[in-house]
Amino acid sequence: MKVIIVGGVAGGATTAARLRRLDEKVEIIMIDKGNHISFANCGLPYYVGDVIKEKQDLLLQTPESFNRRFNVDVRVRQEIIKIKPDEKKVIIRNLETKEEYEEGYDKLVLSPGAEPINPFKHLKSKKIKTLRTVEDSIEIKEYIKNSNIKNVTIIGGGYIGVEMAENLSHYHNLNITIVQKGSHLINPLDEDMACFVHRELRRHGINIILNNGVNEIEEGEELEITLEKGVIKSDFVILCIGVKPEGKLASEAGLSVNVKSESILVDEYMQTKDKDIYALGDAISVINSITEKRTYTPLAGPANRQARIVADNIVGKIEPYEGTIGSSIIKIFDYNLAMTGLNERMCEFEKLDYKSIIISPNSHAGYYPGAKTITIKALYNEKTGQIYGAQVWGKEGVDKICDILAVAVKMKMTAYDLEILELCYAPPFSSAKSPVNILGNSIVNQIEGLVNTVTWSQVEELKKRDEICILDVRTDEEYVRGTYENAIHIPLDDLRNRLDELDKTKEYLVYCRTGLRSYIACRILMQNGYKVQNITGGYYFYSILNV
């Protein structure tokens, strides 16, 4: 059997390696139009920022080493320009010699990836760059180090845009601006949780422009960037607007492609409309495990999993791909942000019966030195408690907590399952009741009617009603450092003795720092005949929202 693989890195190279481990006799040809077939794509911003010092550290395998280890015919600087499905042949162009030739196949694997979106290709300027390849990162790094520039503008505030901002901040002479068309950075994140990201970036001197897209860039001594609202100038621009799947080759071959995203359509076995042609990675759309609808999720983790499945299916070890839930994590200066599953916009679009909750427990036992606050936002089915998605922010333990919640989302677990999880505990690592257990407890309390919750955005609407009052149950020391406007203040430990100060014709929205003490207050008040709701996230979250 002869297999041709288009593209390397997480998709193509992983497919080739797995395929060789399964079948020593299969002939494998890997075609890549770049210079490298296996490099740390996700490490490129860190090379630009000098965190990764040497270019060689990005290269996981060279064409020569890959060939020696896996006996794969690796052809770099070559590109497949046409697929002939009826003849089971491809036309390949050597990008250096311009020579074209045909190659037959039994199975064809498409892993061409995605290209950065660049609306300004008409500007042939060294001052405007995208980041996709090792060569791109080298050019950006050398230009910043060797040119006398002061102002760098990053257009697009997704994962790469934010990572680039952090890494460019290592060059202390640079003024860095992120321009984002939407209302917040990192689009998969909910807007309220994005406030943590904005605060941390601004704390490190990064300028953020929101709700303002870029219309045009004109080159002069400086780049003049015309925004939807206003004009800014910059010495250098990095485009991090997003990526576009490379589905053109598949489309021209008559394979099915998503009209909107131009991603290649595959079935659960990673096969295209032509059963001898597979596709994977950033070039395809897949099924979301929760909504069971097609989604475009260009992430390295799913690509590696898809590669293994493609190789298995080629040799007859039939295995379906069970979809993706979009788990991801990013480092933002001293903090980490992780996400899994659906966000609020997706829940609303799918018309899911959902509710959100925000808790802020400690990363480990509070009495052990160094405990840090972690903020967890979870979305769940308000009847069954099924976990739809989660977003986690903090300095430590973020990856651990979000990984557990990713399993919960993937396996369609509920809050009742989170309550009973037996997780590792010792004071330096967690609390006896882990943050995940606390999350489960909090959701179950809501489902079972022990407390009702509202978000701060709902508070802003509710307080317009005459019968609504805000109750602060923090300590006197906390209260004097700042409180919600016109909030009634009764510390939790005094509440039972001061119930007569409250009016049972009113409804009280109660908060403490993070939500735990206010939950206790709600239980006291509810059992004494008061109408109450707990403000999820507490004053800690409110203070972030209003920085």
Which residues are part of the catalytic machinery? 42
Measured from the Cβ of residue 10, the count of other Cβ atoms closer than 10 Å reads 28
Closest Cα to residue 107, out of 272, 279, 314, 251? 314
Rounded-to-integer distance, Cα 502 and Cα 510, Å: 12
Residue type, 433: K
Chain centre to alpha carbon of residue 21: 32
For 143, phi and psi rounded to 5 degrees? Answer: -65, -45
Q: What is the dihedral of CA 134, 137, 142, 148, to 10 degrees?
A: 170
Long-range contacts of range 462-466, CB-CB < 8 Å, 24 or more positions apart? 462/509, 463/509
Q: Note every long-range contact of 438-441, with CB atoms under 8 Å and residues 24 or more positions apart, other chains counting.
A: 438/359, 438/361, 439/357, 439/359, 439/376, 439/378, 439/405, 439/415, 440/415, 440/416
Q: Are 163 and 330 in contact (CB under 8 A)?
A: yes
User: β-pairing, 507-511 with 531-535?
Assistant: parallel
Helix H or strand E segment including 236: strand 236-239
The alpha-carbon radius of gyration of the chain (Å, integer) is 27
Q: Using CB atoms within 10 A of its CB, is residue 2 exposed (0-12), middle (13-18) or buried (19+)?
A: middle
Distance linking the first and last C-alpha atoms of the chain = 62
Residue identified by tokens 């060059």 is 171
Q: Which amino acid does the sequence have at 298?
A: P
**Amino acid in position 230:** G
Q: In degrees to the nearest 10, what's the CA dihedral of 449, 451, 454, 455?
A: -120
Q: Are 373 and 321 in contact (CB under 8 A)?
A: no
The DSSP call for residue 282 is G
